[in-house]
A and B are shown apart, each in its own frame.
Chain A
Amino acid sequence: MLFPAEMKSVTIVTHDVYREKVISTLHEAGIMEITSVQDSKSEVSATLEPGESHPLAGKCAEYELRVSRVLDALKGFQESKESLLKQFLSPEPVAKTPVEERMPNQLFNEAESVLEKAERAISVQDELAGIGEGIDALRTQRISIELLVPFDFDLGYLGESKYLYIVAGTVRVGDYELFIQTLSAIEDILLLKRQIGELYAVVIAVPASAREELDDILRGRIFNAIKIEHPEGKPSKRLTQIDDEIKGLESRKKGLFKELKTIHGKWNKKLLVLQEELEIEKERMESPSNFGKTVNTSVIEAWVPAKSVDELKRLCDDASDGHTFYESREPEAAPEEIPIKYDNPSWLRPFEILTKMFGHPKYDDVDPTIFLGPILVIFFGLMLGDAIYGLIIFLVGYLLYRGVGKLSESMHDMSIILMAIGISTIVLGAIQGSYCGDIFPRFLGMNSPFMLIDPLREPKKVLQIALIIGIIHLNLGLSLAALQNIRRRKYRGALHDQISMFIIQPCAAILILDFFKWAAITPSLKTVGGVGMLIGVVLIALKEGPLGVFGLTGFVGNWLSYARILALALATTGIAMTINILVELIMNGHSAMIVLAAFVFVFGQIFNCVLQALGAFVHSLRLHYVEFFGQFYSGDGKYFIPFKSIRRYTKLKT
């Protein structure tokens, strides 16, 4: 709990006859992380040939890719969709399909037969994409042709004929004078114009011999040429044709949507099962590339939690009828190279995500989750500090726990965190006497129940509490740093970095109390304080040099940072109170305004709750990541990634 789980380094040697069985057994068990024998620094690895992936691994990857492409094409085409709210609050559990271990070729044959029918979805998607582009192009054409409707001429005349060259385009009204001047260079010219809003639609006809001259003049920013594909018939007739074409394409699109829905209904579940089976098979087939090889055996090196060592041995023996050599030993690698597995009780596991967000502990580091979880819950409650907001957060957490939390591990963890911080906020909010701010005294004319301290009236007291919490929290961090140093036998580090701070803090307190005359300090105690301070400073300076003493100001800065607990408590209550004052003002205006007042109250309080909850969470996290972790934690560890089959849609028949 205080440290990550103990790990062992294991070597498994199995005869190749049993290799596939051993791999699949270990893959289903998911208790070890395979490491590459070639990268290993052990003496044995140098004598081994590098292992190779299964010869069918490429084919397996190819089938998996094809299945994934079909699933992508079918995404979003299920017949009936559940609403997002229902998916969150009461999601349907995924019915797992029972499957058996199969030979790769059997799996490929099944994949082939399913893909034969379901791959039609990809061509349907391609056709849909083509139709979408076609409709867009027709709509663009329609806009261009609409500009030419007032001229009522056959669009086939556009372009060059034996005697004439005709072009159409638009010119902005403001540019028209300039445009006419540029055209004056051509002697024989016919120009028709119609104003459409800010634009002139113009049609220009010149003798075919003047084409190049006209094109030169029109090249530029003033004239915007209208280009029409298949220019035939009068504009109004062409518009009708385009509308018909769009209608035809839309109808085809509907038909294709229907076809995709049918394919989805018939094949989607099967494809998901196949994809999962192929993924698992591919992972197994690729795993031997990390093994070492002799003529008839395969050598596997792996990390395994000490608790699972016996189980791993039993699984290997069962899978190979005892034809496996097995050795487990203490890890010899550097702590940052050993993968870590968290070893926390179930109630603490949801908070591991907060440690992971910063970085995993190294193998010999303290796992800070045991401190981070409970203390973050308290900090959050102090900062948000409103009983009704706490109740809202608790209820949201409970709904998630009963709903999507049952299916998703991350949502389950989040729901537990929400419920914990919700309860903490209810209790600490009641102690601070805040229920959506000051609704009890303001609207009900009575004191807030259970109130022990009011941050708005007694900020000094809250500040003192915040700073006391801060110094305890920082010293907890320093103690953990000292513990780590002592475990690593870095006694000098512990003396200069942490013990010096333990000496300096009480001595500095004595000197400060005496300086500001806040307490009567006896001369002998003052001398002890001065000497202690000197010893502490010298201890730091000996290791870090004279500039290291400035680290003390950093420590003071970290300590003062805990004043944010007061700042956030004040902000929540202050804004909630402002909303209540607004509501009171509206209610006092007219009795009919009560509806508006209710709306302002509900909307304002929810807004404040969301905003302040976000702030309280980020600031609680910050006090851990910056101030607390700064004392002892680097988060440079490597996470244990087991060789494990992930089954969301299938379950293996036993």
Chain B
Amino acid sequence: MVELEIGLVGLGIAIIGSGIAIAGSGIGQGISASAAVGATAEKPETFGKNMVFAVLPETQAIYGLLIAILMMVGMGVI
């Protein structure tokens, strides 16, 4: 029973941690993507390079996901 509770708390923490990382990444991407859209409208040929800057903050969401998976693996949830 106690183990199950610890497991659920751990799962909750993993979800919250992943959520914070994803939300932060989303905010960052919103800022950089709006600038990238502006730059692409001015110079369409720079699309590829603008996309690089727009998607950089996205990596933090992936870290969040990874840590969540690692936590769940560590706790035996998956």
Contacts and interface: CB of A to CB of B under 8 A. Distances in A.
Interface of A: 357-359, 459-460, 463, 557, 560-561, 563-564, 566-567, 618, 621-622, 625-626, 635
A367 to B, nearest CB: 15
B38 interface: no
A238 to B, nearest CB: 47
A625 B69 contact: no
Contact of B49 (A358, A557, A560, A566): A358
A567 B55 contact: no
Given A357-B48, A460-B73, A635-B48, A563 B65 contact: yes
B46 to A, nearest CB: 8
A207 B56 CA distance: 74
A359 B52 contact: no
Interface in B25-74: 47-49, 51-52, 55-56, 58-59, 62-63, 65-66, 69, 73
14 contacts: A359-B49, A460-B69, A460-B78, A560-B59, A560-B66, A567-B65, A618-B51, A618-B55, A621-B51, A622-B52, A622-B58, A625-B48, A626-B55, A635-B49
Interface of B: 47-49, 51-52, 55-56, 58-59, 62-63, 65-66, 69, 73, 78
A459 B78 contact: yes
A622 B55 CA distance: 7
A370 B61 CA distance: 30
B48 A626 contact: no
Contacts, number: 43
A618 B49 CA distance: 13
A447 to B, nearest CB: 21
Contacts of B63: 560
A564 B69 contact: no
Contacts of A625: 48, 51-52
Contacts of B52: 622, 625-626
B16 to A, nearest CB: 18
A458 B59 CA distance: 22
Contacts of B55: 618, 622, 626
Given A358-B49, A459-B69, A459-B78, 8 more contacts: A463-B66, A463-B69, A560-B66, A563-B66, A564-B62, A566-B65, A622-B55, A626-B52
A635 B48 CA distance: 10
Nearest to B72: A459
Nearest to A626: B52
B48 A567 contact: no
B69 A357 contact: no
A635 B52 CA distance: 13
A358 B48 contact: yes
Contacts of B59: 557, 560-561
A231 B47 CA distance: 58
Contacts of A618: 51, 55
Contact of A357 (B47, B62, B65, B78): B47
Contacts of A567: 62, 65
Nearest to A463: B69
A626 B56 contact: yes
Nearest to B66: A563
For the complex of A and B, the 3 pairs showing the least CB-CB separation, nearest first, are A358-B48, A357-B48, A622-B55
A620 to B, nearest CB: 12
Given A459-B78, A460-B78, A463-B69, A622 B51 contact: yes
A560 B48 CA distance: 22
A292 to B, nearest CB: 31
Contacts of B49: 358-359, 635
A129 to B, nearest CB: 28
Contacts of A563: 62, 65-66
